[in-house]
């Protein structure tokens, strides 16, 4: 069963358009994790069972096949998988060094800990950057640098971040679940394309799409690994 993100109609398996409102539905197919052989959704970034980074595995595979295919033009070396550090371009100059370090720390993959990560991630949709949620905090502030509530997740480096408020939203960790709430942003927060009213909280599930501001321009997909 696939629930339509637009009208909540329950569609049968195999549906690519919602039977009710004809909104294109997310394509969900099941494949297996190359590390532990447990079933994972094809659009997942990490294996739900062992936390294996599926994205890097598939990119690695892709570049391998490209290399073998491109025998005719040996000088064309396939580009390495896009480096996450270079993507958040045009960081505002008023960002302090500490903030930068924080952003980079959040963004930078930790190759050693990847196989045993416990916790949750936000995947920035527009740049495909994974942000690990700091697991020592009960409230994680999302926003841009300001002198009232410093953000734990600073989105000022991402494209279109001008539509995100300085104090935009919070993720709360309570009793093994993550909750998302808008902390009075100017442009609002959308969860799975529905507006999250101020004062409401949304219990996050893996695969939820969070958009800061309108127009789906600064969006994250929430992923939880057990």
Partner 1 sequence: MSVNLSCDFSDRHLDSSVSTSQRQLAITISVDGSLSVSNTPLNLCLVLDHSGSMGGQPLDTVKKAARDLIDQMSYKDYISIVGFDHRAKVVVENQTLINPESVKEKILYLKAGGGTNIDEGIKLALKELSKSMKSTISQALILTDGENEHGNNDLCLQFAQLAAAEYGITLHTLGFGDYWNQDILEKIADAGGGTMAYIESPDQASAEFQKILRRVQSVGLINAHLILKLAPNVRLAELKPIAQVTPETIELEPEKNLNTYIVRLGDLMLGNDRTIMLNLYINHNPDQIVAASTANTIHAVTAQIRYDDPQSKLEGLLSPEVTADLTLIKDFQPQINPQVQSSILALAKYRQTQLAETKLKQGDRTGAVTMLQSAAKTALQMGDQQAATVLQANATTLQSGTDLSEAERKQTRMVSKTILQIPTNQISTNQIPTE
Which residues are at the interface with partner 1 (CB under 8 A)?
Answer: 6-7, 9, 12-17, 19-23, 29, 162-163, 186-187, 193-195, 197, 213-215, 217
Nearer to partner 1, 113 or 186 (CB): 186
Nearer to partner 1, 19 or 152 (CB): 19
130, 140 contact by CB (below 8 A) = no
- Beta carbon of residue 185, minimum distance to partner 1 (angstroms, whole number): 11
- Beta carbon of residue 168, minimum distance to partner 1 (angstroms, whole number): 13
- Beta carbon of residue 39, minimum distance to partner 1 (angstroms, whole number): 14
CA dist 199 to 21, 209, 215, Å? 29, 19, 21
Nearer to partner 1, 205 or 214 (CB): 214
Alpha-carbon distance 167 to 145, whole Å?
8
Tokens coding 6: 């637009």
- Beta carbon of residue 212, minimum distance to partner 1 (angstroms, whole number): 11
Nearer to partner 1, 14 or 93 (CB): 14
Tokens coding 102: 């924080």
- Beta carbon of residue 194, minimum distance to partner 1 (angstroms, whole number): 7
- For the chain, how are helix, strand and coil distributed in percent, rounded to 5? 15, 30, 55
Nearer to partner 1, 62 or 104 (CB): 62
Nearer to partner 1, 28 or 85 (CB): 28
Would you give the DSSP letter of residue 77?
A: P
156, 144 contact by CB (below 8 A) = yes
Alpha-carbon distance 10 to 8, whole Å?
6
- Beta carbon of residue 32, minimum distance to partner 1 (angstroms, whole number): 13
Question: Which one, of 171, 213, 210, lies nearest residue 5 by Cα?
Answer: 210
Alpha-carbon distance 82 to 101, whole Å?
20
């Amino acid at each position: 069963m696939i629930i339509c993100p637009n009208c909540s109609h329950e569609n049968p398996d195999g549906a690519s358009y919602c039977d009710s409102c004809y909104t294109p539905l997310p394509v969900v197919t099941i494949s297996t994790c190359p590390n532990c052989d447990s079933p994972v959704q094809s659009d997942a970034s990490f294996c739900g069972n062992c936390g294996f980074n599926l994205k890097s595995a598939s990119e690695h595979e892709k570049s391998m096949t490209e290399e073998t295919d491109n025998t005719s033009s040996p000088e064309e070396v396939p580009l390495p998988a896009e480096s996450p550090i270079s993507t958040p371009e045009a960081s505002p100059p008023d960002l302090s060094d500490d903030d930068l370090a924080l952003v980079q720390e959040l963004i930078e993959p930790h190759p050693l800990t990847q196989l045993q990560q416990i916790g949750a991630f936000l995947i920035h949709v527009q740049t495909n950057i994974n942000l690990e949620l700091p697991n020592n905090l009960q409230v994680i502030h999302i926003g841009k640098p300001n002198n009232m509530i410093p953000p734990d997740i600073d989105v000022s480096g991402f494209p279109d971040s001008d539509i995100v408020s300085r104090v935009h939203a919070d993720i709360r960790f309570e009793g093994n679940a993550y909750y998302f709430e808008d902390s009075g942003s100017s442009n609002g927060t959308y969860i799975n394309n529905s507006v999250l009213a101020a004062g409401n909280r949304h219990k996050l599930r893996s695969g939820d799409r969070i958009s800061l501001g309108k127009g789906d321009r600064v969006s994250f997909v929430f992923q939880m690994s057990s």
